[in-house]
Amino acid sequence: MKIIAIAAVTAGGKTTIVNEIKQQIKNVKSLHFDDYSFEGEVDDFYSWVMQGANYNVWDLSPLIKDICEIEKSSKCDYLLLDYPFAYCHEALRDYIDCAIFIDTPLDIAMARRVLRDMKNATGEEIRKEMEIYLRYARIAYIQMLKDILPSSDYVIDGTKELAEKTDEIKKIILSL
């Protein structure tokens, strides 16, 4: 079994790609970072970056446990991790056979996030979220581009159409 991390900034397309690939390649399972609650989760990303952006503060034990269970009990060919950190977390890096980063421009990711997460928000709530993003959260997005993108095995252009990105990532996966 090959374990492939699909990384990107928030709303960069990780989940969409993972779900699309699962429909197109047989014997694929997936685990999704957002389905977990982790000890050490960062609430204040600005402070996290200012203190050195240590990805190891997240205790990924629950995710690692599930990876190990799938490795032991499953006959799947590929395990896709919808996971933002690629090789940057020490406890998880040795499990990963390949890390693919979807390089989605921050403006596109932000637009997707607002459209996805703030469907019923008021204009004032959206403006407040934009202020928080500009003042505190954007720095974490930039940090990911500095750390995760260059540590990945492959970088995919996040501005491409879904079918094009999916085909490109499928070719990588099937070549492993």
Q: Is 98 helix (H, G, I), strand (E, B) or coil?
A: strand
C-alpha–C-alpha distance, residues 113 and 157, integer Å: 18
CATH number at residue 65: 3.40.50.300
Per-residue tens of pLDDT for the chain, all 176 residues: 999 999 999 899 999 999 999 999 999 999 999 999 999 889 888 999 999 999 999 999 999 999 999 999 878 999 999 999 999 999 999 999 999 999 999 999 999 999 999 999 999 999 999 998 898 889 999 999 999 999 999 999 999 999 999 999 999 999 99
Q: Could you tell me the residue range of the domain that residue 144 belongs to?
A: 2-175
Q: Is 52 left (phi over 0), alpha (psi -120 to 50) or beta?
A: left
User: Rounded to 5 degrees, what are φ and ψ at 9?
Assistant: -70, 170
Q: Domain tally for the chain?
A: 1
